[in-house]
Structure 1
Amino acid sequence: MTTESNTPNTIERSAYYAELSALQLAPLWERLKGLVPTDPRPNAVPYHWAWNLVRPQLLTAGRAITAEEAERRVLVLENPGLEGKSQITDTLYAGLQLIMPGEVAPAHRHTQSALRFMLEGVGGFTAVSGEKTTMHRGDLVLTPYWTWHDHGHDGDEPVIWLDGLDVPLVNFLKAGFREEHQANRQVLSKPEGDSLARFGSGLLPVVMPSMSGTSPVFNYPYARTREALDVLQRSTDIDKHLGICMRYVNPVNGDWAIPTLGTTIRLLPKGFNSTFYRSTESAVFVVIEGEPTVIVEGSAPVVLGPNDVFAVPGWLRHRFESSSSDSILFSFSDRPVHEKLGLLREERS
Structure 2
Amino acid sequence: MNPTAQKPAAPAPANAAERRDYYERIRPLSLTPLWESLHALVPREPATPCVPALWRYDEIRPLLMESAALITAEEAVRRVLVLENPALPGSSSITQSIYAGLQLIMPGEVAPSHRHVQSALRFIVDGKGAYTTVGGERTTMYPGDFIITPSWAWHDHGNEGVGGTVEPVVWLDGLDIPMLRFFDAGFAENDDAKVQHVVRPEGNSLARFGHNMVPVRHDHVSATSPIFNYPYVRSREALALLQKQEAPDAWLGHKLRYINPLTGGAPMPTIGTQLQLLPKGFAGKTHRATDGTVYSVVEGRGIAEIAGRRFEFGPRDTFVVPSWAPLRLSAPGEDVVLFSFSDRPVQQAMGILREAFLDEA
TM-score normalized by the length of structure 1: 0.96
Paired residue for 1:347? Answer: 356
Paired residue for 2:192? Answer: 182
- Verify: 1:324 aligned to 2:329, yes or no: no
Q: Which amino acid aligns with 1:175?
A: A
Q: CA deviation at 1:7?
A: 6.8
1:312 equivalent among 305, 321, 332: 321
What do you get for the CA RMSD once the two structures are aligned? 1.3
Change (3 A) 1:106 1:19: same
Residues 116-147 of structure 1 deviation map (CA, whole Å, 9 limit, x = unaligned): 00011121000000000000000000001010
Q: CA deviation at 1:68?
A: 1.9
- Verify: 1:38 aligned to 2:44, yes or no: yes
Q: Which amino acid aligns with 1:101?
A: P
Paired residue for 2:6? Answer: none
Q: Is the 8 A contact 2:291 2:343 kept in 1?
A: yes
Whole-angstrom CA distance in 2 between matches of 1:56 and 1:105: 20
Q: CA deviation at 1:210?
A: 3.6
Whole-angstrom CA distance in 1 between matches of 2:128 and 2:259: 26
2:258 equivalent among 235, 248, 264: 248
Q: CA deviation at 1:237?
A: 3.4
**Bigger CA radius of gyration:** 2
Whole-angstrom CA distance in 1 between matches of 2:270 and 2:255: 19
Residues 14-40 of structure 1 deviation map (CA, whole Å, 9 limit, x = unaligned): 111011111111111111011111111
Instruction: Trace 1:74-223 onto structure 2 (pairs within 5 A).
Output: 74-155=80-161, 156-223=166-233
Q: CA deviation at 1:236?
A: 2.5
Residues 276-298 of structure 1 deviation map (CA, whole Å, 9 limit, x = unaligned): 00010000001100001101132
Paired residue for 2:69? Answer: 63
Paired residue for 1:278? Answer: 288
Whole-angstrom CA distance in 2 between matches of 1:122 and 1:226: 17
What stretches of structure 2 of length at least 5 have no aligned partner?
1-10
- Verify: 1:226 aligned to 2:231, yes or no: no
Q: Which amino acid aligns with 2:44?
A: T
Paired residue for 2:277? Answer: 267
Which 4+ residue blocks in structure 1 deviate beyond 3 angstroms? none
Paired residue for 1:3? Answer: none
Q: Which amino acid aligns with 1:211?
A: V
Whole-angstrom CA distance in 2 between matches of 1:237 and 1:25: 58
What stretches of structure 1 of length at least 5 have no aligned partner?
1-5
Q: CA deviation at 1:209?
A: 0.7
How many residue pairs are counted as aligned between the two chains?
344
- Verify: 1:9 aligned to 2:14, yes or no: yes
TM-score normalized by the length of structure 2: 0.93
Higher alpha-carbon deviation: 129-138 or 30-39? 30-39
Whole-angstrom CA distance in 1 between matches of 2:76 and 2:53: 26
Residues 137-175 of structure 1 deviation map (CA, whole Å, 9 limit, x = unaligned): 000000010100000000221110000001001110111
Q: CA deviation at 1:181?
A: 0.5
Q: Which amino acid aligns with 1:88?
A: I
Whole-angstrom CA distance in 2 between matches of 1:13 and 1:253: 55
Residues 38-97 of structure 1 deviation map (CA, whole Å, 9 limit, x = unaligned): 111111100000011001100000111111221100000011100000001111100000
Aligned-residue identity in percent: 51
2:345 equivalent among 326, 336, 340: 336
Q: Is the 8 A contact 2:107 2:160 kept in 1?
A: yes
For the residue of structure 1 that corresponds to 2:156, the secondary structure is strand
Q: Which amino acid aligns with 1:302?
A: F
Q: CA deviation at 1:208?
A: 2.6
